[in-house]
Amino acid sequence: MGAEQFEQPFSEFEPRIVAFCCNWCSYAGADLAGVSRYQYPPGVRIVRVMCSGRVEPVFIFDAFKNGADGVLVTGCHPGDCHYVSGNLNAERRVENTRKALEYLGLGAGRLRLNWISASEGLKFAEVMRGFTEEIKALGPSPIKSRVGVKNPKS
């Protein structure tokens, strides 16, 4: 996939966020945010998985490679996981991946893990807004400028 396919240039930097949501808690939370009309910026894309424990580091790296400025992994609260302990696997994996991102120079701050239940629509929207702001402060992912996407800050 070539860099020329990214839409560019940005008039103002609008972070592109990918949220991996588990089917049972967080995806339902995202739906509830919609049903309740809690707004958040449209730069967010949701990828549904059955359990947050399914999210492999390679999904996260590929999301960055494909234009994401920030990645969020969301799952059920500890103890509430539909699959008993899949979310704890996710937590461990995200922690390790954050270290790798730091090492690679992207910064650990671009990857976040949040527990969002099916009843926390408001929290879902707040997390999306908050994370978008955090990524705005960090600026566009350096990978994009590396592969030729115009960085408005440079």
What residues line the site for other proteins (CB under 8 A)?
1, 5-7, 16, 18, 23-25, 27-28, 30-31, 33-35, 37-43, 45-51, 53-56, 58-59, 62-63, 66-68, 76, 79-86, 89, 93, 117-120, 125
Cα-based distances in Å from 88 to 63, 91, 99, 136:
22, 5, 17, 29
User: Shortest gap between Cβ of 149 and other proteins (angstroms)?
Assistant: 10
Q: C-beta of 77: minimal distance to other proteins in Å?
A: 9
Q: Which one, 55 or 111, has the nearer CB to other proteins?
A: 55
Q: How far is the CB of 105 from other proteins (least distance, A)?
A: 21
Residue 95 CB, nearest approach to other proteins (Å): 14
Alpha-carbon distance 43 to 16, whole Å?
5
CA–CA separation, 29 and 18 (whole Å):
16
DSSP character string of 6-62: S----SS----EEEEEETTTHHHHHHHHHHTT----TTEEEEEES-GGG--HHHHHH
Q: Which of 18, 113 has the CB closer to other proteins?
A: 18
Q: Which is nearer to other proteins, 13 or 38 (CB)?
A: 38
